Amino acid sequence: DLDIDERKNAVVELGLPKFRAAQISNNWFGRLNSDPDSWTDLPKEMRAKVSDKFFPNLMEPVSTQSADGGQTVKIAWCGLDGSIVESVLMAYPNRVTLCISSEAGCGMGCPFCATGQGGLQRNLSTAEILQQLMVANQQLEEGLIPGHNRVSNIVFMGMGEPMANYKAVMGAIHAMTTPKPDGFGMSARGITVSTVGLVPKMLQLAEEGMQFNLALSLHAPDDELRDGLIPINKRYGVDATLNAAWNFAKVTGRRVSIEYAMMRDINDQAWRADLLAKKLHARGDWGWFHVNLIPLNPTPGSKWTASRKSDEKAFIEHLERSGVPTTMRETRGREIDGACGQLAAAVREGRVQPSTQASK
Ligand code: SAH
Ligand code: SF4
């Protein structure tokens, strides 16, 4: 949870010289070694002290499942208080993306989302967010997915609303992008924060002076429909939310991704594609947006389901005809409760037995 200066202060408070802070950072971030007992550059009696004081065991992986021929691996974690969160590792030919959670549960209550249905348990700390990346990197280094030894991209698209846990999420992004050995040394350009549209936080995010990406989960171009899909829309409506996304693009020069989960007979009508295109173009044609369509992953027992192929095709045609750059997200890990919050729900409800095979 500590930045570089705070680490130095904490080490001094423990009665150790300042330079030990850099050694500790180097072992953890630089060498991906999270076991203080094996840090031979620290005197033996100091290691137990450092371990007790700075490295409590925050979360344990309780279930690890793989799909897509081993290219997708999903981990469910159990925190000290028993709350379950999840992260998903997805390997592609030229990158490895980790989808991480920012909260245990989520308070936003979107009805089509398994996480939203469970409510908010609590925010995660910076350390709990980083732990998901640390263990993913360690597992890759141990050969989890042959040919890939490091996470290259991060998406905050697991459980939780990252803008509702702003400070911890920014702390994690700083640690991810701080050069090695004080941080993970990742490129901000490979990090994507996905939000349901908390406008004041989106405006703040634009002022961070960093080159990460923003994804806005819009899912509907009109307030009438969006109010029902995304309860917070009643406070921050479509226009205010799109303005905040446009502002992020203007300030940072980064193209914003407009996320649109295709829901059968709910938001997938061609006229809504036209309205979406109109609202995006109205804010400028300088390439500030692209639309990323997501096939809805139905949550068990819900009325929400994926669009018909023909409606999907018409929707894409209407967007493209209006000059909206459009992509369709590749689905991963369906057979392992791949969508947001589904594995965590399965673990909580006892449908998936905890196992620790892949958690060393
Ligand atoms: N709370 C943030 C980030 C986590 S959700 C947000 O909402 O943006 C990440 C993405 O998954 C969001 O775009 C969300 O709308 C989408 N999502 C949630 N449930 C889904 C489902 N059942 N099928 C497909 N996408 C879903
Ligand atoms: Fe929360 Fe995002 Fe799910 Fe909505 S879609 S309930 S904001 S995690």
> Cα of 40 to ligand 1 centre, how many Å?
43
**Residue 303, pLDDT score:** 84
Mean pLDDT of the chain: 93
**Residue 355, pLDDT score:** 47
Give nearest CA residue, ligand 1 atom 7.
196
For the Cβ of 88 lying below 6 angstroms from any atom of ligand 1, the answer is no
Choice from 155, 196, 219 to test ligand 2 binding pocket (greatest atom count within 8 A of CB): 196
Residues near ligand 2 (Cβ within 6 A) = 106, 108-110, 113, 115-116, 160-161, 196, 217, 340
* pLDDT tens digits along 244-298: 999 999 999 999 999 999 999 999 999 999 999 999 999 999 999 999 999 998 8
* pLDDT tens digits along 50-93: 999 999 989 999 999 999 999 999 999 999 999 999 999 999 99
Which amino acid type is present at position 214? L
Tokens read off for 246: 């446009």
> Cα of 340 to ligand 1 centre, how many Å?
6
Please say if 113 is a catalytic residue: no
Mean pLDDT of 133-142: 96
**Residue 353, pLDDT score:** 56
Tokens read off for 255: 């193209």
Tell me which residue of 338, 110, 302 sits closest to 218, measured CA to CA: 110
Pairing of strands 256-262, 289-295: parallel
Res. 157 pLDDT band, cuts 50 70 90: very high
**Distance in angstroms (rounded) separating the CA atoms of residues 342 and 258:** 23
Q: Which of 78, 99, 110, 340 is catalytic?
A: 340
Count the neighbouring beta carbons within 10 Å of the beta carbon of residue 167: 10
Res. 356 pLDDT band, cuts 50 70 90: very low
Q: Which atom of ligand 2 is nearest to the CA of 113?
A: 3
pLDDT over 70, % of the chain: 92
Longest dimension (CA), the chain: 69
Q: H helices then E strands: how many in the chain? A: 12, 12
* pLDDT tens digits along 160-201: 999 999 999 999 999 999 999 999 999 999 999 999 999 999
Q: Which ligand is nearest to the CA of 118?
A: 2
Q: Phi and psi at residue 41, in whole multiples of 5°?
A: -80, -5
Cβ neighbors of 317 (< 8 A, separation 6 or more) are: 270
Q: Are 10 and 49 in contact (CB under 8 A)?
A: no
Please report which helix (H) or strand (E) contains residue 174, including its range. Answer: helix 166-177
The DSSP secondary-structure symbol of 264 reads T
For the Cβ of 259 lying below 6 angstroms from any atom of ligand 1, the answer is yes
8-35 residues labelled b (16+ CB within 10 A) or e (exposed): bebbeeeebeeebbbbbbbbbbbebebe
* pLDDT tens digits along 323-344: 999 998 877 776 666 555 666 6
Tokens read off for 84: 């379950």
Choice from 340, 342, 343 to test ligand 2 binding pocket (greatest atom count within 8 A of CB): 340
Of 304 and 194, the one with more pLDDT: 194
> Cα of 116 to ligand 2 centre, how many Å?
5
* HEC readout, 40-63: CCCCHHHHHHHHHHHCCCCEEEEE
Distances (CA, A) of 243 to 108, 114, 199, 240: 21, 28, 9, 5
For the Cβ of 339 lying below 6 angstroms from any atom of ligand 1, the answer is yes
Res. 359 pLDDT band, cuts 50 70 90: very low
